[in-house]
Amino acid sequence: MKIDRDTKQEFREPVIVPLVNIVFLLLIFFMLVGRIAPFEALDVAPPVSGAGEQTADRPDPVVLIAADRRLALDEEEMEEDLLLSTIARLFEEDPSLTVRIKADAALEADQLIRLMESLQKLGITRLLLLTERPES
Amino acid sequence: MGSATYSLLARNSQSDARRRRRSLISLTPLIDVVFILLIFFMLASSFSTDQAIQLAMPGAGTTEGALPGSLVRVKRDGLDLNGEPLTLDELYLRVRRLARAPGGRQFLVQPDRGVPLQRLVAVLDVLEQSGAPSVSLVRK
């Protein structure tokens, strides 16, 4: 009886070690490869575009526009006046500023153009519209 | 002497086994924590890289004003090129021909009120595919 239990325990021992190894490897893989997505203030589903190009990993300011026209800058929801003055200040510090716009696919397109006009009045001409890759 | 060595060996292997068993017990919370970390990183990390299209408006560049222009109007139920109703496929062919003409051509895209952004982006995609040299957005 006693011998039986002993052999069973010894049998269980080597099974768990490779499991732990694999879990460690997975952990290291996800830590290195994955990028932790930043929190977003608004729920925005960007439009699908086949022409979208990969963007450089730069810390550009991101303007979010939800389908109900609410605005947010990076992680903070704000009114349009405050948003524009904040971007104007950023633009003063860095004249080569690129603004990324993440607009909801269901937003009226002329609302986006209205925002673009406001940004252009500040002197900002580098604008990117974030899109999603079509699922194939 | 022989039996003494044997008993030493036996005691050694016994304590080895005990140590192994004890270290196995302390491994369990470690595995728990590693599992929790693994699940956290699997859920929190994203692999998608940002895709983006360039947006331009008339007057943003310096040379664009010199190009002859065409107006693409995007309506709720269709679109037209310089007032002529077209489908997306027809637009592709027409723009290809226009874009190949010497001197290039500027395309102004004007979405109607209430046209969803996805529709505008689809038209911009077609213009991009057909090689339009300069596309800018205007508001109605």
> What does the pLDDT look like over B70-108, one tens digit per residue?
888 998 888 888 888 888 888 888 888 887 777 667 888
**pLDDT, tens only, A84-99:** 999 999 999 988 888 9
Fold assignment, B64-137 = Nucleotidyltransferase; domain 5 (3.30.420)
Say yes or no: A14 and A54 in one domain: no
Say yes or no: A29 and A72 in one domain: no
Task: Tell me the pTM.
Answer: 0.70
Name which of A100, A113, A128 is nearest B137 (Cβ-Cβ).
A113
Say yes or no: A87 and A105 in one domain: yes
Q: Which domain holds residue A23?
A: 1-34
Measured from the Cβ of residue A36, the count of other Cβ atoms closer than 10 Å reads 11
Cβ within 8 Å, pair A20-B27:
yes
Q: What is the DSSP string of A46-89?
A: PPB-SS-EEPP-----EEEE-TT--EEETTEE--HHHHHHHHHH
Compute the average pLDDT of residues B104-113: 84
Say yes or no: A100 and A127 in one domain: yes
Please answer whether residues B132 and B94 qualify as being in contact, where contact means their C-beta atoms are separated by less than 8 angstroms: no
Using CA coordinates, name the residue in chain A closest to B24: A13
Name which of B112, B118, B124 is nearest A51 (Cβ-Cβ).
B124
Flag whether residue B124 sits within 8 Å of chain A, measured between CB atoms: yes
Say yes or no: A122 and A76 in one domain: yes
Chain B residues whose CB is inside 8 A of the A132 CB are 51
Chain A residues whose CB is inside 8 A of the B21 CB are 9
Task: For residue A73, give both structure tokens.
Answer: 């800058």
Q: How many domains is chain A partitioned into structurally? A: 2
Task: Determine the distance in angstroms separating the CA of A77 from the nearest CA of chain B, rounded to an integer.
Answer: 21
Cβ within 8 Å, pair A117-B139:
yes
Say yes or no: A18 and A53 in one domain: no
Residue ranges in chain A whose pLDDT is less than 70: 1-14, 38, 136
Task: Determine the distance in angstroms separating the CA of A118 from the nearest CA of chain B, rounded to an integer.
Answer: 11
> Which CATH number covers residue A72?
3.30.420.270
Please answer whether residues A102 and A130 qualify as being in contact, where contact means their C-beta atoms are separated by less than 8 angstroms: yes
